[in-house]
Structure 1
Amino acid sequence: MSEEPLPEADKLDAAAHPRHTSELFGQNEAEATFLEAYNSERLHHGWLLTGPRGVGKATLAWRIARFVLRGDEGGLFGPPADLAIDPETPAFRRTAALSEPGLMLCRRAYDEKAKRLKIQLTVEEVRKLKHFFEVSATDGGWRVAIVDAADEMNTAAANALLKILEEPPAKALLLLVCHRPARLLPTIRSRCRTLKLRPLGNDDLVAALASLGHDASLGPVETMLAAGSVGEALRVLEGDGASLYLDILALLGSARQLDTARVLALADKAAGRGSEAAYDLILRLTGLALARMARAGAGGEALLPQEQEVAEMLCPGLQPAQAWAEALQDIEARAAHARAVNIDPAQVILDSWIAISRAARSIAA
């Protein structure tokens, strides 16, 4: 009997791993910036790939890695026009199989004892990078490391990576995929050149979803929830996020007199083994609904019609907007703590909605 493959910290359940992805949509500017630096022969050793989750940061990192490691496969016809590499070439196949000797992937490890991915990227994983760069490349070529995601490092790991960035060996390239740059040490950020990837436009988002075999027709709610991110669009489509978001808005509309039965029905969706994705989506969409309502009350957000009705009821101006922003911070902090100490997901959702109901009554008073 074949064993189940281990989960990968840098892979979405609904899509292939970025190392197998040959196309990148909507990030021509970031790709051209790197290519210009490469063609100038003044390539910086550290690159920080930033932007929202799911917009192609990891896909770009793997495109860069394959391009740099392609060696003689690059041809002799002048500077390349893009970073594309034929999926049938040895360089593409080696990187996809994680068998390329010039490449090192650094990511959160699987905890065999706990039977789950570790919560943080630990110093033991980053130390493997140090050893990787200490070993001389046999052909004198490039050595490339991808750290995904750099903002998941703990303090010891961050300090170990900083030492590598401070004294990089020749022809070493570090590609740091980072969702939240503010969580990195300022000294790490200062030693990297930043490539900022932006949310995709609707046409690019539709094309990217179609390339993954998904129905690319997105309604207004799905488009808003995706926010230009292929990763978020996949989560929304896989988890029926549009219907879930409308359910959450309906619950908010009755938050002052909480419909406990509907909250329990929502919590049941996150109960039991295999419901982690639903749990994450419920918490994210609940927080998003509150945040959009608060920003609209402060005059900084255009709402969907379904949201507008709730916002007019619960957040009609700047003062309640500030109160909801504070309440959201408290609710999210409590939920994060509950998840960290492994409290039952259904209970976390129930407690969150009790707090929302309490805030709704307090703000209305």
Structure 2
Amino acid sequence: MIEYTLHGPASQERARIRVMSALRENRFPQAILIDGPAGIGKKWLAMEIAKSLQCTDPNMRPCGHCFGCRMADDSGATDGWVVPMEADEARARSSDDVAPGSKAKTIEDFKKAYIEEIQKNPYRVDIFSAGAYISVDLIRSMTSSFAMKGDRIRTIIIAEADRMNESAANAFLKTLEDVPANTYFILTTSSREKMLQTIRSRCLALHLLPLSDDEVRSEVLRVAGEEFDEASLTDDVIGLAVGSPGKALYYAEHAKAWCKLASDFVVFSLRGSYTELFMQLKETSLDEAYDANRFLEVLSFLLADLLREQANAPLRMPETTTAVGLSNFPRVDATALELALVAVQETMSRIESRRVSASMCLQNLSLKLFEGYK
């Protein structure tokens, strides 16, 4: 019997055992959906599975050195991936349609750049822009490659599958209804509820758990490289990550500014110091919807921590929460904080809809955050 070994954090061992058992017993499904919070290693596991399926070693898989393993690790083998792309990138011409010697970027060039970033750090949560999506043309391009003859195992990783638009989802559903022989789809998503139920029902569901705080720290240091400043992994950053190395990496870059802004946002809103707060918001440059909502995640976390502080529960962001000095505002009780959390969530939805500018939404939020409790 061929032995399979998938590597990864101990917190996700049960999921890997399930996959290895299916591989070992030759009952691996042709479509699998890996879901879980952003940045916890879904793409990493997807790549490990792809190598295991394509590996040809007769004893231990993935071996890491056979042709199948090398193909799975080759960022130039773009047929093995479907990734969200910006509209202009997805409309780029194929390498088959570009004149010899042309320096114009092809769709394969764009896809290869994304794959390289994923392989460099599969935990990253900001590889794809907020406007990137999986179009029906990307799905059709994937299925057109099925016409190529060959007996080798074909694996296709569909990263952030919830970003398929309606046409792409329907086209992919038709493919799932009649999957070609020796072809395996590995989908990843942080928002399975946004996917067609008919697609989800045709995939084996595999849920990944968040990592422990110690695992987050060690995984960040493993993938970030020698230039990474370990001091940026503060207790507040680890708390914000909630078990996600990808979020820890993201907040290690932004938390110093955003945690202070979140603390000031609460204090200045309570004091009515709106002019000063508006100036800080302008200096922090939160005009992009994605960045604005990531900041609001920090603000939500702070409000939740203030509730924990009132209940004498352990804090996830001890430094920032203590800096607010909530005891100086005796009128702010649990109800006020809960209503503030609702206001933040509503603002995030408005920003995501893109009907109103992010900066305007943040200003409006500051005016009503503790309405009636100031």
Q: Same fold (TM over 0.5)?
A: yes
How do residues 150-161 of structure 1 correspond to structure 2 at under 5 angstroms?
Answer: 150-161=161-172
**Cα distance change, pair 260–303 in 1 and its aligned pair in 2 (3 A):** farther
Task: Give the C-alpha shift of residue 99 in structure 1.
Answer: 4.1
- Equivalent position amino acid for 1:234 in 2: L
Q: Name the residue aligned to 1:29.
A: 14
- The TM-score normalised by the length of structure 1 is 0.76
Note if contact 2:32-2:187 (Cα within 8 Å) is conserved in structure 1: yes
Give matches, 1:1-365, under 5 Å. 24-26=8-10, 27-71=12-56, 74=57, 76-77=58-59, 80=60, 84-86=62-64, 89-100=66-77, 103-112=79-88, 118-133=131-146, 135=147, 137-138=149-150, 140-212=151-223, 213=225, 214-216=228-230, 218-239=233-254, 241-256=255-270, 257-270=272-285, 279=292, 281-290=294-303, 293=306, 302=315, 304-305=317-318, 306-307=320-321, 313=329, 316-317=333-334, 319-338=335-354, 343=357, 348-362=358-372, 364=373
Please report how far the alpha carbon of residue 311 of structure 1 lies from its aligned counterpart in structure 2 after TM superposition: 6.1
Mapped to 2, the partners of 1:29 and 1:303 lie a distance apart of 26
- Distance in 2 of aligned mates of 1:89 and 1:215: 36
Cα pair 1:61 1:146 within 8 Å, conserved = yes
Distance change >3 Å, CA 325–CA 278, structure 1 → 2 = closer
How many percent of aligned residue pairs carry the same amino acid? 22
CA displacement, residues 255-292 of structure 1 (integer Å, 9 cap, x when unaligned): 131342243223322268xx888556434323443455
CA distance in 2, matches of 1:307, 1:321: 13
User: 8 Å contact 2:350–2:361 — kept in the other structure?
Assistant: no
Does 250-259 or 106-115 show the bigger shift?
106-115
Range moving further from structure 2, 352-361 or 119-128: 352-361
Number of residue-to-residue matches in the alignment: 322
Counterpart CA distance in 2 for 1:270 and 1:111 is 25
Deviation track 1:159-201 (CA, whole Å, cap 9, x = no partner) reads 1111122221222211111011111111111111111111111
Which range moves more in the overlay, 348-357 or 191-200? Answer: 348-357
Q: 1:172 to 1:94 in 2, by over 3 A?
A: closer
2:336 partner amino acid: P
Helix, strand or coil: the match of 1:254?
A: helix
SS in 1 for 2:243: coil
- Tell me, in whole angstroms, the C-alpha distance in 1 between the residues paired with 2:19 and 2:216: 22
Q: Displacement, 1:303?
A: 5.2
Given that residues 69 and 142 in structure 1 are in contact (C-alpha distance below 8 angstroms), is that contact kept between their aligned partners in structure 2?
A: yes
The answer (yes or no) to whether the contact 1:270–1:276 under 8 Å persists in 2 is no
Q: Which runs of 5+ in 2 are unaligned?
A: 1-5, 93-127
The letter of the residue matching 1:255 is S
Distance 1:233 1:48 in 2: 24
State TM-score, norm by structure 2.
Answer: 0.74
Q: Is the 1:297–1:320 Cα contact (8 Å) retained in structure 2? A: no
Deviations 1:213-269 (A, max 9, x none): 234453320111111111111111222x14421331132122131342243223322
Which deviations, in whole Å up to 9, do the C-alpha atoms of 1:25-68 show, x marking residues without a partner?
34332222111101111111111111111110011111111221
RMSD over aligned Cα atoms: 3.4
Contact conserved, 1:294 with 1:325, CA < 8 A, in 2?
Answer: no
Distance 1:151 1:300 in 2: 35
Q: Point out the more displaced range, 242-251 or 184-193.
A: 242-251
Aligned residues of 1:48 and 1:194 also touching (Cα < 8 A): yes
**Hey, what's the Cα distance between the residues in 2 that align with 1:263 and 1:39?**
59
Gap change, CA 1:297 and 1:356, over 3 Å in 2: farther
Q: Aligned-pair distance for 1:158?
A: 1.2
Aligned pair in 2 of structure 1 residues 60, 137: CA closer, same or farther (>3 Å)? farther
Alpha-carbon distance in 2 for matches of 1:303, 1:98: 38
User: Secondary structure at 2:80's aligned position in 1?
Assistant: strand
Structure 1 pair 104/303, CA: closer, same or farther in 2 (3 Å)? Answer: closer
Seen in structure 2, the aligned counterparts of structure 1 residues 168 and 90 have a Cα distance that, compared at 3 Å, is closer
- 1:69-121 Cα shifts (integer Å, max 9, x gaps): 122xx2x33xx4xx6543x55444433333448x5211122433899965321
